[in-house]
Amino acid sequence: MQLPIYLDYAATTPVDPRVARAMSECLTIESNFGNPASRSHQFGWKAEEAVENARRNVADLLNCDPREIVWTSGATEADNLALKGAAHFYHKKGKHIITSKIEHKAVLDSCRQLEREGFEVTYLDPDSDGLISPETVEQALRPDTILVSLMHVNNEIGVVNDIGAIGEVTRKHKVIFHVDAAQSAGKLDIDLEKMQVDLLSLTAHKLYGPKGIGALYVRRKPRVRIEPQIHGGGHERGMRSGTLPTHQIVGMGEAYRIAREEMREEARRTLALRDRMLRGLEDIEEVYVNGDLKLRSPGNLNISFNFVEGESLMMALRELALSSGSACTSASLEPSYVLRAIGRNDELAHSSLRISIGRFTTEEDIDYAIEKIHYAVAKLRELSPLWDMYKEGVDLDQVQWAAH
Amino acid sequence: MAYSDKVLDHYENPRNVGRLDDDDANVGTGMVGAPACGDVMRLQIKVDGDGVIEDAKFKTYGCGSAIASSSLLTEWVKGRSLDDATQIRNKDIADELGLPPVKIHCSVLAEDAIKAAIADVRKKQGNTEDQT
């Protein structure tokens, strides 16, 4: 077993060795280094072929047409392109956009920008499990709604929205539906023949591909239009200019090809490890799982240890690489907005850990982590005045705290 | 975030963890912070007949820097008079522990805690004439 143990696969994943090998073949003078846009020689043709193979691999995982895949620098750019691109194209139809309070910042901050440009945005409240229902979406629709943007899997709590059902609502009302699938592609089934999703953001680095590459799916039937946000040589059918990074794209293609072959087995394996982790932790007193446990991405566990602060907990767990919803781990000193939006109080938000499990996690890793977490929680509760008070039967909500 | 060796040391081996008898007239308690803000410190001091702090205990819910700030504080106040202890400033704690700017509030909380504990013991002893 190698220390520290990586349990932060929702933040990023290591590149699969098979992916790294494919990428390394697109860099040097002996290999496929050409500019895919070079039409006049075989270096360009060969690079273009590699890019188009990768495009097909991405499209195959999602059951869509390769021509519907637009390369971007990652999911953040894809989200920006989807929201601003669709809003700018369809603004004459209306200026209302619907999203949720627990979206990724790439979506929320793009919405803020669109508000500054005169669009109006409705931020839906998720239920206490973290989910947005199709009914909630339908009720928020207005005659001037042009776009709904919701994530498939939440990055913090791993809960899964029913994008198939939500897509039926948006299609019925002829509203564009954008889905951020950064956390779900290659982990959950996405069938774009069946799901009525119009725009879908993808990334490589959450799926054992390299950082710095992603894609936006843009539906052709019925045709969805977007205004480009980056102008230049007219690459990607004019939707996203910029020389295509062959090695990055080949890496993403290989990662998605592997995912298509192995995702079922991998989902089974990571779910078993997740359940092993949960079983090992749920005997600790005052432990709360955040978000629905059934409708959840297989490798995610988000769990709060009441009366223990998340950053100090991570400090005690320096042999484990994971993340926390604690304010102290963020630049803003605000606890997780996702946990707050699902109704968790600040204390539980401060006390949360996100454990995310992936391809290279072993049972040994999980068992070691369980033991360490038990020890750390006990140690910090020994130090915690709140734990004392809880044990004495003091209702902490009734105490007059001097907020600072 | 990278922690200084001193923060790590106090975090790994916190000094003077525990509690003193609240009902003792010579014990003062300072409880500051709020769970919603992510840190709560409880600092207790016990003074002898000469007004010198002979014992100090703490419990802290909070980040590593908050735990280290309160642990360091208990070391510093022991053996000091109450007047002397009121002179402890958050900056001294932050400097000693090498706290980054984002963690200065942890040292502020520690200063608040010792002030609150001193005020409490003075109130209990009905002795307010030497308060500044």
pLDDT, mean of residues A29-50: 97
**Comparison of pLDDT for A122 and A398, the residue scoring more:** A122
Which of A5-19, A105-119, A151-165, B98-112 is the least confident region?
B98-112
Closest-CA distance of chain A to residue B52, Å: 25
Among chain A residues, CA nearest to B70? A383
CB contact under 8 A, B59 and A346: no
> What pLDDT, on a 0 to 100 scale, did the predictor assign at position B125?
86
A249-A255-A258-A262 Cα dihedral, nearest 10 degrees: -150
Among chain A residues, CA nearest to B19? A385
Give the C-alpha distances (Å, rounded to integers) separating A245 from A164, A207, B3. Answer: 32, 18, 38
Which of the four pLDDT bands, split at 50, 70 and 90, describes residue A363? Answer: very high
Closest-CA distance of chain A to residue B62, Å: 5
CB contact under 8 A, A345 and B59: no
> What pLDDT, on a 0 to 100 scale, did the predictor assign at position A137?
98
At residue A326, does pLDDT exceed 60? yes
The whole model's pTM is what? 0.92
At residue A166, does pLDDT exceed 80? yes
Residues of chain B with Cβ-Cβ distance to A311 below 8 Å are 38, 63-64
* Distance, CA of A191 to CA of A348 (rounded, Å): 36
Which of the four pLDDT bands, split at 50, 70 and 90, describes residue B131? Answer: very low
> What pLDDT, on a 0 to 100 scale, did the predictor assign at position A347?
86
List, by residue number, the catalytic residues of B. Answer: 37, 106
End-to-end C-alpha distance for chain A, whole angstroms: 43
Comparing CB atoms, the residue among B3, B14, B35 nearest residue A386 is B35
Asked whether the bond before A4 is cis by omega within 30 degrees of 0, the reply is yes
User: Residue A227: which of A75, A80, A72 has the closest Cα?
Assistant: A80
Write the DSSP assignment of A151-193 as a string of letters.
ESB-TTT-BB--HHHHHHHHHHTT-EEEEE-TTTBTTB---TT
CB contact under 8 A, B63 and A345: no
At residue A37, does pLDDT exceed 90? yes
pLDDT, mean of residues A264-277: 98
pLDDT, mean of residues A41-70: 98
User: Residue B68: which of B34, B98, B45 has the closest Cα?
Assistant: B98
Helix ranges, chain B (H): 5-12, 64-77, 82-85, 90-97, 104-125
Among chain B residues, CA nearest to A348? B36
Comparing CB atoms, the residue among B61, B108, B109 nearest residue A384 is B61
Most confident region among A289-293, A391-395, A398-402 by mean pLDDT = A289-293
At residue B120, does pLDDT exceed 90? yes
Which of the four pLDDT bands, split at 50, 70 and 90, describes residue A403? Answer: low
Instruction: Give the tokens for residue A296.
Output: 């959840």
CB contact under 8 A, A312 and B63: yes
Establish, for the pair of chains A and B, how many residue pairs have beta carbons separated by less than 8 Å: 84
CB contact under 8 A, B38 and A384: no
pLDDT, mean of residues A318-341: 80
Q: Which of A304, A307, A308, A311 is the best mutation test for B, with the most CBs of B within 10 A?
A: A311
B105: three-class secondary structure by DSSP: helix
**Comparison of pLDDT for B129 and A47, the residue scoring more:** A47
Q: Which residues are within 8 A (CB) of A29 and not within 5 positions of it... i.e. 6 or more apart?
A: none
pLDDT, mean of residues A299-327: 91
CB contact under 8 A, A386 and B105: no
Among chain B residues, CA nearest to A387? B61
pLDDT, mean of residues A56-62: 98
Residues of chain B with Cβ-Cβ distance to A385 below 8 Å are 31, 40-42, 59-61
At residue B64, does pLDDT exceed 70? yes
Closest-CA distance of chain A to residue B22, Å: 14
Which of the four pLDDT bands, split at 50, 70 and 90, describes residue A329? Answer: low
Residue pair A150/A121 in contact by the 8 Å Cβ criterion: no
At residue A204, does pLDDT exceed 70? yes
Average pLDDT score over chain A: 95
> What pLDDT, on a 0 to 100 scale, did the predictor assign at position A327?
61
pLDDT, mean of residues A230-238: 95
Instruction: Give the tokens for residue A121.
Output: 């945005």
Which of the four pLDDT bands, split at 50, 70 and 90, describes residue A325? Answer: confident
Comparing CB atoms, the residue among B33, B59, B64 nearest residue A312 is B64
> What pLDDT, on a 0 to 100 scale, did the predictor assign at position A330?
58
Which residue pairs, CB below 8 angstroms and at least 24 apart, start in A44-48? A47/A244, A47/A246
Strand order in the sheet with A352-356: A287-289, A300-305, A352-356, A323-324
* Distance, CA of B107 to CA of B130 (rounded, Å): 25
H and E: helices and strands count for chain A:
12, 13
Instruction: Give the tokens for residue A14.
Output: 């290591």
Closest-CA distance of chain B to residue A285, Å: 17
Comparing CB atoms, the residue among B36, B38, B60 nearest residue A383 is B60
* Distance, CA of A100 to CA of A202 (rounded, Å): 19
Which of A24-38, A103-117, A340-354 is the least confident region?
A340-354
List b or e across A168-197, with b for residues whose CB sees 16 or more CB atoms inside 10 angstroms: bbbbeeebbbbbbbbbbbbbbebebeebbb
Q: Residue A352 — left, alpha, or beta (φ > 0 → left; ψ -120 to 50 → alpha)?
A: beta
At residue A213, does pLDDT exceed 80? yes
Residues of chain A with Cβ-Cβ distance to B62 below 8 Å are 309, 312, 328
Q: Which residues are within 8 A (CB) of A306 and not within 5 positions of it... i.e. 6 or more apart?
A: A286, A287, A288, A347, A348, A351, A390
Question: What is the percentage of chain A residues whose pLDDT exceeds 70?
Answer: 98
Instruction: Give the tokens for residue A73.
Output: 């620098």
CB contact under 8 A, B67 and A383: yes
Q: Which residues are within 8 A (CB) of A383 and not within 5 positions of it... i.e. 6 or more apart?
A: B14, B17, B59, B60, B61, B67
**Residue B77 DSSP class:** H
SS (H, E, C) A1-62: CCCCEECECCCCCCCCHHHHHHHHCCCCCCCCCCCCCCCCCHHHHHHHHHHHHHHHHHHHHH
At residue A290, does pLDDT exceed 80? yes
Token pair 């933040």 in the structure block, residue: A11
* Distance, CA of B107 to CA of B33 (rounded, Å): 12
CB contact under 8 A, A404 and B38: no
Helix (H) or strand (E) holding B27, with range, is: strand B27-34
List, by residue number, the catalytic residues of A. Answer: 328
> What pLDDT, on a 0 to 100 scale, did the predictor assign at position A332?
61
pLDDT, mean of residues A51-74: 98
Among chain B residues, CA nearest to A384? B61
> What pLDDT, on a 0 to 100 scale, did the predictor assign at position B132?
44
